[in-house]
Amino acid sequence: MMQYRTFGKLDWKPSALGFGCMRLPTTDPQDRTTIDEDLATQMVRYAIDHGVNYIDTAYPYHSGESERFVGRVLQDGYREKVRLATKMPMWAVDSKEVLDRILNEQLEKLQTDHIDFYLFHGLRESRWETVQQFDMLKWAEKALADGRIHHLGFSFHDNYDVFKMIIDATDLWTFCQVQYNYVDIHNQAGRQGVQYAASKGLAVVVMEPILGGRLVDPPQPVQDIWDSAPVQRKPADWALQWLWNQPEVSVVLSGMSTMQHVTENVESASNSGVGKLTAEELAIVDRVRAKYEELCPIPCTKCEYCLPCSVELKIPNLFEILNRATMYNKFDEARRRYERMSDAEKANACIQCRECEEKCPQSIPISEWMVVVHDVLSKGVEFDACVTP
- Residue 386 has a pLDDT of 56
- Residue 387 has a pLDDT of 56
- Residue 6 has a pLDDT of 98
Per CATH, is 17-294 categorized as 3.30.56.10?
A: no
Task: Enumerate residue ranges in the chain where pLDDT < 50.
Answer: 385
pTM equals 0.85
Residue ranges per domain, the chain? 17-294, 315-385
- Residue 292 has a pLDDT of 87
Query: Alpha helix (H) ranges present in 245-365?
Result: 259-270, 279-295, 315-328, 331-339, 355-359
| Cα 214 from Cα 301, distance rounded (Å) | 7
| Cα 83 from Cα 174, distance rounded (Å) | 14
Instruction: Read off φ and ψ for residue 30, nearest 5 degrees.
Output: -90, -5
Q: What residues are paired with 84 via a beta bridge?
A: 55
